[in-house]
């Protein structure tokens, strides 16, 4: 779990769930439930975007490493075009 979520993301998840539960008890289950659910869904969406950004970062890092190793192994007079 720590591979994709840093410390602050886990803190935000815990605080969001705790505040949502507290709001349910403080305001009641029926009163303004849609507003609280909307806030929870926005927080979940932000966390999902953060997770996707970590995945994209790892993919780009891997691709750059492959390009770097290819450039190091490339002979001096070799002029082949890379097709991605």
Record the pTM: 0.55
User: What would the pLDDT profile of 11-68 be if each residue is shown by its tens digit?
Assistant: 877 888 888 788 777 777 666 777 777 777 888 888 888 888 888 988 999 999 999 9
pLDDT greater than 70 at residue 77: no
Tokens of 48: 């999902």
More confident residue, 27 or 9: 9
Residues 6+ apart with CB under 8 A from 27: 33, 36
- Can you give the pLDDT at residue 24? 77
Rounded Cα gap, residues 38 and 10, in angstroms: 20
């Amino acid at each position: 779990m720590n591979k994709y979520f840093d410390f602050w993301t886990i803190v935000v998840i815990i605080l969001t769930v705790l505040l949502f539960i507290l709001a349910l008890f403080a305001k009641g289950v029926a009163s303004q439930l849609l507003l609280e659910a909307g806030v929870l869904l926005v927080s979940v969406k932000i966390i999902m975007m953060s997770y996707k950004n970590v995945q994209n970062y790892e993919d780009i890092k891997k691709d750059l490493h492959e390009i770097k190793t290819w450039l190091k192994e490339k002979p001096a007079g070799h002029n082949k075009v890379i097709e991605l």
